[in-house]
Amino acid sequence: MHHLKIIIIKQNGKKSDGQGFSQNELKEAGVNKQQAKQMGFRVDVKRKSTHKENVDCIKLHAKEAIAKAAAQPKKLKPTFKAKAKS
């Protein structure tokens, strides 16, 4: 997955790059903090704002990550049988 660009809108209306998605944005997208970190999203706990562009970005990339994880088969650990003592 490529790098996600987090957009922050400042008070003067200018946009800048952010440090991570806010928890409110993750909640709106239906992703919790743990799932976001597993998918490679950065989370900024200091931010409280919610931007629609970021929520849409999270939803899009979350669907891709879930589809990618479902397509890959799970790796099973080998099972070892105990040898019988004679």
Cβ count near 53 (within 10 Å): 13
Residue 43 covered by a domain: yes
Q: What phi and psi values does residue 36 have, to the nearest 5 degrees?
A: -60, -45
Domain span at 44: 7-62
Structural domains of the chain, count:
1
pLDDT digits (tens, 9 = 90+) for 2-58: 566 777 778 888 887 778 889 999 999 999 888 888 888 888 888 888 889 889 989
What DSSP designation does 21 have?
A: B
Residue 45 covered by a domain: yes
For residue 75, the SS3 value is coil
Residue 28 covered by a domain: yes
How far is the C-alpha of 79 from the C-alpha of 67, rounded, in Å? 28
pLDDT given at position 14: 82
Instruction: To the nearest 10°, report the CA torsion of 51, 39, 41, 3.
Output: -100
Q: pTM above the 0.75 mark? A: no
